[in-house]
Amino acid sequence: MGFEIAEDNPSPSTLIFTYGTLKRGFSNHGLLQDLMRTGDAVFRGTYRTIDNYPLVCGPYRVPFLLNLPGASGSNRVTGELYAVTARGLTRLDELEGITRCHYERLPIMVEPISATGDGEGKACAAEAYYAHRSYAAEMWKRNGKRGYVVYGEKEAKGYVKRKDRPQNLSFLDQIHVFVSSIDGN
């Protein structure tokens, strides 16, 4: 699943496609900045998915990529690609709650895009943090089976940082409350 990068980083790296708060200009990008400072991440460019995927917002405007390729109402999602070392991957996995079933890291095919939005290079295998399979279908239903092309400023409006969310429920509990309120109440 990993993809070895020989260029500016001599240690094996995994290509990670980011689509939400880890991107430049968003609340969790500080972690990637720290990883780049220590040599544990390298920015590779702006990329988009080869297949259509649902990109939705959950509780507190948290973005979720759903592993439902080709779902009606989904789009080719635009994000950023980073080459990340094993040490950096451990930190990203912790942020994304891999062991707590918040997200799961799985393969995805992406291609670079130019400033004009055209493909400018070959597709490559990467990995992305998808909403955990235990609630992904419900998240898609809750969002009216309509996804975003990009998680931008408009989509992030109203995002609540983890430290500012209610602490009496776990994040998974917050997700289950969100998806159980199909009518939005």
Residues with a known catalytic role? 96
DSSP track, 24-64: TTSTTHHHHHHHHHTTSEEEEEEEEESS-B-EEE-GGG-EE
Residue 67: Cβ within 10 Å count: 19
Distance CA 80, CA 43 (A): 8
Q: How far is CA 136 from CA 20, 94, 102, 104, in A?
A: 16, 20, 10, 11
What is the SS3 assignment for 140-153? HHHCCCCCCCCCCH
